[in-house]
Structure 1
Amino acid sequence: MEEKLKEEKIKITPQRREIIRRLEELEKTHPSFNQIYQSIKETQPNVSRSTVHDNLKLLVERGIIRSFNYKGETRYEMSPEPHVNLVECNGEIVDIKNQNIHKKLDEIIAILKDEENIKIKSLLVLVEK
């Protein structure tokens, strides 16, 4: 992840390093802003909400991480690749890792580009169980 920051010419600060570390720890849970912030507060009690928010925003803008909204809450994930997120009955969000689904998503992207002249920045499919 730090390589991506270097490629994007983003300075690696202790706060950014901790945000990335926490994102990697919480990756499978698609954490909300509050979950990330509370997790960081455990080791850096003086970090401000705005510092965490601004850094997450920068990482999203540069395409290093991705954000999406679910039920009024912004969630974050490390995977920039098109994929399906499944919301379980308990509210947990998990990635579906299925090659056939990935092929179909690639087909959808190609159709949108070739037939609808839409350049796709990202594709996220959210399915509730």
Structure 2
Amino acid sequence: MNTTAPAGSRDLPHPSREEIRLEGVLHALSDPMRLQIVQELAAAGGDELTCSQFALPVTKSTTTHHFRVLRENGVIQQIYRGTAKMNGLRKRDLDDLFPGLLDALLAAAARQSARQN
């Protein structure tokens, strides 16, 4: 994985498509806060969202941790645009590697949420 960014750079490390592993994706999506982030990104229909657009009931440092886990496991792409850190779902990569997995997980999460409400 590209684990280091150039000195002085604000580029964040991301795994290449070939480095994304099923167990990493499943781990990243096993946490309710991270699953909520992915659901919100999926609902955005391909648009990127800033970190501040997510209303998570956790501290800023915990939010940062959740985004890092998603990024390091290839679920999201994060890039800086000016001072904003933009987040996008790596749907194409995930669909190519694990056809139907993301859609099935999102549908299951929606059904679970409906049962709990």
With the length of structure 1 as denominator, give the TM-score of the two structures. 0.46
Q: Which structure features the higher share of helix residues?
A: 2
Q: Which structure features the higher share of strand residues?
A: 1
Larger Rg: 1
Higher relative contact order (CA 8 A, sep 6+): 2
